[in-house]
Amino acid sequence: MIPENPRSFTCCWISSGADPEEIRSAYRQWDTRPDGPGAARLFQVVESKRQTLLRRLNLAPGATLSLVAMRADLLRLLPAHPDLAAVDQDFSHLLSSWFNRGFLQMRRIDWNTPAAILTAPKPTTPVASDTAAFYSINNSLPGLKEVSLGNFLIKQVAHDLSAEFPDRHRFVTLSPAPGFARWLSTEKSDRARQLDAALTGREWVTDSNIATRLAPEVEAFAARYFLTARHRNGTPYDPVARFHLGNGASAWRVNWPADTSDHALKAAHGLMINYLYELGAIEDQNEKFMRDGTVAHGQQLAQAMQHLNEEY
C-alpha cells in the first residue's frame, strides 16, 4: 500500500495536517468570545485534513480493510520515518472510533467452525467445574494495533456465559508472559542469575526432576514479575498484564512448565499465567489498579512473593 521509499507519501500526508495559523485565529476568536460556535470552529480547524481525507476514502466499497492494511505498512515504516507519527495518530484515532463494541459478533464454536480454529492447541491446565477458561484473544490485523476490542470481548463473553450457565461464576484466561525472560535476565541478584542460567540451559524441558526442583524459584520470581515489575512510566512491564489488569482482572495463578514452544521458551521460559475475571470484583479492582497501581492477585502469587521476600 505504501512504497518502500515513502518520500512522496510523507510529503503528501504531512502537508495534510492542521494549519497552525487557522488554529491560532480560531483560538483567538474563541478566547475573545468562548461560545458554542467558536468552540465548534476551533474543533474543526484543530482536526487535521488527513482525517477528512481518510473518512472520504473510507466511503469506497471495501475501503476500510484497505485503510487497515495501509496503517500496517505505516507502522512498519514508522521506526525509520518518525515524522510520520502524526499520520499514525490520525489513523489510530479514526480506527479506534470506527472499531468499537458494536462491531463484535459473538459466534459459538461448533462443527461448522473453520478447522484452523477447531484444531488450535487447547489448554491442559485443569480448572474447577465453576470456572470457564479463555484460551486466546488475538488481533489478526497488524493495522489494528492498539485498537482494542479484547476488553469488551472478554466481559461480553463472561456475561453471556454466566447467563447461560449460572453455575459458572469464575472466568480465567490462560495467558502468555512475553516479557518474563527478558526481565529475569536483567535482575542482578545471584539467585536470579542462577535461575536465569538454569532456565536458559533448557535441561528442565526434557528432565522433569530438574523442572520440579526449579518450580518454586520460577513461581517466586514470576510473582515478583507480575506484581512489581514496572516500566519507568509506572505501567506493568508485561504487555499482557497491562491489558488484563487494566480490565479489572486479578493475577490469579502462574503455570510452569506450560508452553514449551520455541517462541514461548525464548520469551517466557515456558511460563504462563491465569488472569481471573470475577464479575462482581472487576470494577473495584480496575479502579484500584488505575488509581495507585494495586495488582489484585491470588493466594499462590501472594505465598510465592512472601517466600521470595523471606529468602532475601
Confidence of residue 9 (pLDDT cuts 50, 70, 90): low
Per-residue pLDDT, 11: 54
Per-residue pLDDT, 167: 85
Assigned domain for 178 exists: yes
Q: How many domains does the chain have?
A: 2
- How far is it, in rounded angstroms, from Cα 251 to Cα 274? 7
Last residue of a domain, one of 68, 98, 128: 98
Confidence of residue 150 (pLDDT cuts 50, 70, 90): low
Q: What's the rounded mean pLDDT across residues 231-260?
A: 93
The model's pTM is 0.70
Active site residue 175: yes
> In this structure, are 92 and 128 located in the same domain?
no
- Domain assignment of residue 63, given as a range: 7-98
> In this structure, are 272 and 166 located in the same domain?
yes
Which range, 23-37, 92-106, 112-126, 141-155, is most confident?
23-37
Per-residue pLDDT, 284: 93
> In this structure, are 160 and 243 located in the same domain?
yes
> In this structure, are 259 and 302 located in the same domain?
yes
> In this structure, are 238 and 143 located in the same domain?
yes
> In this structure, are 306 and 230 located in the same domain?
yes
Confidence of residue 131 (pLDDT cuts 50, 70, 90): confident
Confidence of residue 7 (pLDDT cuts 50, 70, 90): low
Assigned domain for 284 exists: yes
Assigned domain for 2 exists: no
> In this structure, are 117 and 80 located in the same domain?
no
> In this structure, are 40 and 60 located in the same domain?
yes
For residue 241, is pLDDT > 90?
yes
Strand 272-277 relative to strand 250-255, pairing? antiparallel
The CATH number that applies at residue 197 is 3.40.630.150
- How far is it, in rounded angstroms, from Cα 264 to Cα 291? 32
> In this structure, are 123 and 246 located in the same domain?
yes
Q: What's the rounded mean pLDDT across residues 237-258?
A: 94
> In this structure, are 191 and 287 located in the same domain?
yes
Per-residue pLDDT, 123: 47
Chain centroid offset of residue 85 CA: 20
The CATH number that applies at residue 31 is 1.20.140.90
Last residue of a domain, one of 42, 72, 98: 98
Assigned domain for 161 exists: yes
For residue 13, is pLDDT > 80?
no
> In this structure, are 80 and 210 located in the same domain?
no
> In this structure, are 88 and 49 located in the same domain?
yes
Average pLDDT taken over every residue of the chain: 85
Last residue of a domain, one of 98, 119, 138: 98
Instruction: Report pLDDT digits (tens) over 57-88.
Output: 899 998 999 999 989 988 988 888 888 888 88
Instruction: Report pLDDT digits (tens) over 183-213.
Output: 999 999 999 999 999 999 999 999 999 999 9
Confidence of residue 142 (pLDDT cuts 50, 70, 90): confident
Please identify which of the residues 244, 250, 269, 297 carries the catalytic annotation.
244
Please identify which of the residues 92, 175, 269, 297 carries the catalytic annotation.
175
